Chains A and B, each alone.
Chain A
Amino acid sequence: MQAQDLDSAIDSIRLRFGSQALTRAAALPPPQPWPTNTAIDWLTGIGGLPRGRLSLLTGSGTCGKLTVALSLLARATQEFAHAMVVDPGGFDPWCLLPFSPELSALTVVSAPAPEIRGESAAALAKAGAGFILLMSGVPEHWLGPIESGANRSGSVVVEVVDAPDRALAHASSFSVDFSRTRWLRERDQVVGLRVSARCTKNRVAPPLGESVLDIRYPIWPQQLRDYRPEIVEVPIEAEEVVPRASAAV
């Protein structure tokens, strides 16, 4: 009965306002991807981060989400006229240098107050900044303007957060959860970490997938320009899944 009422309401809206007034989400065209050449592309299912949508990189503790975010930001500086970082005030561009960014395209908006961060992100998304990296949460009431602004201009918006609240999780179109599976060691030295990147939400394409990444750090002091962090995708088969399997049993 409810379904009939709903169909009738949909028909009357379409009759009055035209066939395009209501469209089923499944019938909408997928957003244009921005290829990042990372494992994230595969996880989205469309070959890149979705333009005009909010994407989340989540995970608690040291799990590689910030390294991945910085590599995306560096790539964005090379491809977009404007790559923005909206952070509470602690962002150091130095940590971006290993990824060879184009600094002329980078702008940092330092906003300690969440309200200012929200307004800044919404204004920049609406104006059409190519890439916006949110380093901290924004108030719930700014998520709508950010989403609609990005949707209109096609901005790629990525937020890095430990654990998203319900509003943020709802507003995002694509979420990847990072978790560290183990440290990588060579000669008893920690040289990086192996992380599992799992797609926990995907509104742009059907598949929810998982990938394993190796993020390698320098193992002894080096000149910054000699050091280039590596993010390598590891075949799933090579991952040691025994501990997880035993836990399940």
Chain B
Amino acid sequence: MAFGVIPGMALRHAEHLCPQATFVLPDPEAVERIRQLISSALYDLAPVVEVRAEGLAWLELSGVARGGESIRGARHRLKQAIGREPRLGLAPGPFSARLAAARARPGRLLRVDDAREFLAPLPSCELPLDAEQLERLDLLGLRTLGAVATIGPRELESQLGRDGRHAVLLARGLEPDQLDPWQPPMFTSAHRQFGQPVEDREALLFVARGLCSDLADELGLRGAGAKEVRARLVLDSGDTEQRESVVRHPLSSTAELFGLIGSWIKEWQPRAPINELWIELPVLEGAGRRQLRLWAGGDGSSDEVSAALERLEDRFGDRVVRKPQPVLVSSPIPTERFA
């Protein structure tokens, strides 16, 4: 890049290389928005996903059947999101995974099987301690994580307080920290206030479609779907009329949202001209409950399939549905083979 300034460089160093540069301070809102976007992009790759504003993302892959696919997916999506190859680390816990990723080459995965062995030669300044505590560690001669790991947690606790105990556990690869899982947002809405009260149904449908499109775009960015939909009309008389419905499959596209809301509006008979139209999605969830695809195809709809089978049994009798269980498979009598 120009003047040798590269991403990730310290601000002071960059200023030294390019004194005429204008430095823009971080925008917390934009950072949070990007954090949400990256979180939603990674949401379906692992049961627990945490993304931090400082550019770190963790995926908890324990129990995930196809962990390799999740890692490849994370690499691909992060590259798309940030425009650069991410560094990847695979380790037994978040601390060692972070350090592994920091030491991986861009676009490559550094895998750590034995966290303690991997951490031992690394400098103790990698521990999440403040400058004073790190200086004390240095004075104590504990300059590597291996050295920190050899002393007892209580001994360092007596020197540094609770952080000392925590530092020893980290240095030993015991990973005392848990990830803070990202949850998709739960509520969103869109509304339009009319300049003149509206009586024309076609106009209302037109506006509703536009609102549905806006909401669908937002849901797409968040990786969410609407589990409950509510449409509210604020009438010229000051009254409010509303309809709401809980849907079985989360709705996330314009067609799905407008399919439901449009059908309401087509038969709605408001008592007065309409001043405002609100479309609210009070209950959101991961679109298609995507995380459940991590284990087996169709797991996401297990409850619904079971409910459908129960309804069939109610309507047509218990004998309609059976789950064959082997009893005496080698029996020559077919009825004895399965329960």
User: Interface on A for B, CB 8 Å cutoff?
Assistant: 17-18, 20, 79-82, 92-94, 97, 103-104, 106-111, 116, 119-120, 123-124, 126-130, 152-153, 155, 223-224
Contacts and interface: CB of A to CB of B under 8 A. Distances in A.
A111 B322 CA distance: 11
A126 B308 contact: yes
A97 B325 CA distance: 12
B329 A128 contact: no
A81 to B, nearest CB: 4
Given A107-B309, A128-B304, A224-B330, A80 B321 contact: no
Interface string B296-326: 1111111011011101100110011111111
B316 A20 contact: no
Contacts, number: 94
Contacts of B337: 92-94
B338 interface: yes
Contact of A127 (B296, B299, B308, B326): B308
Interface in B244-281: 249, 254-255
9 contacts: A18-B213, A82-B305, A93-B324, A107-B322, A108-B321, A109-B321, A110-B322, A129-B298, A223-B330
10 nearest A-B pairs in the assembled complex, by CB-CB distance:
A128-B301, A130-B298, A127-B308, A93-B324, A127-B304, A81-B298, A81-B299, A123-B308, A80-B298, A127-B305
A127 B300 contact: no
Interface residues of B, number: 34
B324 A110 contact: no
A92 B331 CA distance: 13
A109 B338 CA distance: 15
Given A103-B325, A109-B312, A127-B307, A82 B302 contact: yes
A96 to B, nearest CB: 9
Contacts of B324: 93, 103, 106, 108
A111 B320 contact: yes
A200 to B, nearest CB: 28
A94 B338 contact: yes
B323 A129 contact: no
Interface of B: 209, 213, 249, 254-255, 296-302, 304-305, 307-309, 311-312, 315-316, 319-326, 329-330, 334, 337-338
B246 to A, nearest CB: 16
Given A111-B316, A130-B297, 14 more contacts: A18-B213, A79-B296, A81-B297, A81-B299, A82-B302, A106-B323, A107-B323, A111-B320, A119-B315, A128-B298, A128-B300, A128-B305, A129-B298, A155-B298
B24 to A, nearest CB: 38
Contacts of B304: 127-128
A116 B297 contact: no
B301 A153 contact: yes
A224 B330 CA distance: 8
Contact of A129 (B305, B315, B338): B305
B109 to A, nearest CB: 26
Contact of B322 (A97, A108, A119, A224): A108
A128 B308 CA distance: 10
A123 B304 CA distance: 10
B320 A110 contact: yes
B217 to A, nearest CB: 13
A107 B321 contact: yes
A103 to B, nearest CB: 6
Nearest to B309: A107
A168 B237 CA distance: 54
Given A81-B299, A127-B307, A116 B255 contact: no
Contacts of A106: 323-324
A141 B334 CA distance: 34
B309 A20 contact: no
Contacts of A79: 296-297
A120 B320 contact: yes
B311 A123 contact: yes
Residue in A104, A111, A120 whose Cβ sees the most chain B Cβ within 10 Å: A120
Contacts of A92: 334, 337
